[in-house]
């Protein structure tokens, strides 16, 4: 849960126990920024998802799977790599690939020489569907994200996101 500390509490240096070393709790201002980031992310993903579903009958997660596969030279990925790439659990990506396979957009193949290995493969129908959906999605990214920021904002946001991604 994301609770803001009571205004009278000073949390600037209050230790928080976790499984690692003792760390300080976030300040009230840090929590406000964190929650703002979460609200922005949620609003953007909900909006982009709604547009994809309305215009293309494709969820944002499905679109992401198709993009990940299309960006590979052979249009295939191991299921475990795909789960990591789309930030879904392995069971979540398995269920999603099941639906995409039933729609003819993806198929699964066994990996030669690896009895347990399975890859997801983008079909021609999947690539065609992705091409059609890309217009909707990219217009939405431009309209709801990029157009709200100027060049300086984008450069700073990129720097911040890269810093956070590095850990």
Average pLDDT over residues 111-124: 86
pLDDT given for residue 167 in this prediction:
83
β-pair partners for 114: 111
Residue 44 domain-assigned?
yes
Condensed to tens digits (0 to 9), the pLDDT of residues 67-85 reads: 999 999 899 999 999 999 9
More confident residue, 54 or 12: 54
Domain that holds residue 154: 26-166
Residue 2 has pLDDT above 60, yes or no: no
pLDDT band at 15 (very low <50, low <70, confident <90, very high): low
Sheet holding 114-122, edge to edge: 76-78, 114-122, 106-111
Q: Is residue 6 part of a domain?
A: no
pLDDT at 116 over 70: yes
Check which CATH number belongs to the domain holding 87 and give it. Answer: 1.10.10.10
Beta strands in the chain (DSSP E): 15-16, 23-24, 76-78, 106-111, 114-122
Q: Which residues pair with 118 in a beta bridge?
A: 110
How many domains is the chain partitioned into structurally? 1
- In this structure, is residue 5 part of a structural domain? no
**Per-residue confidence at 98, pLDDT binned at 50, 70, 90?**
very high
Q: Is residue 142 part of a domain?
A: yes
Residue 14 lies in a domain: no
Q: What pLDDT is recorded for position 20?
A: 59
Provide the pairing of β-strand 15-16 with 76-78. Answer: unpaired
pLDDT of residue 109: 93
* 153 assigned to some structural domain: yes
Residue 19 in domain = no
* 4 within a domain of the structure (yes/no): no
């Amino acid at each position: 849960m994301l609770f803001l500390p009571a205004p009278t509490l000073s949390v600037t240096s209050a230790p928080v126990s976790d499984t690692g070393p003792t760390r300080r709790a976030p300040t009230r201002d840090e929590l406000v920024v964190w929650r703002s980031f979460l609200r922005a992310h949620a609003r953007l993903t909900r909006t982009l998802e709604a547009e994809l579903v309305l215009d293309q009958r494709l969820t944002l997660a499905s679109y992401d799977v198709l993009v990940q596969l299309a960006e590979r030279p052979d249009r295939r990925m191991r299921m475990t790599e795909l789960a990591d790439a789309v930030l879904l659990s392995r069971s979540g990506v398995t269920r999603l690939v099941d639906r995409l396979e039933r729609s003819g957009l993806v198929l699964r193949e066994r990996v030669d020489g690896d009895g347990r290995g399975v890859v997801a493969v983008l079909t021609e129908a999947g690539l065609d569907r992705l091409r059609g959906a890309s217009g909707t999605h990219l217009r939405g990214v431009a309209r709801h994200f990029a157009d709200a920021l100027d060049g300086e904002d984008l450069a700073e946001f990129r720097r911040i996101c890269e810093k956070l991604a590095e850990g």
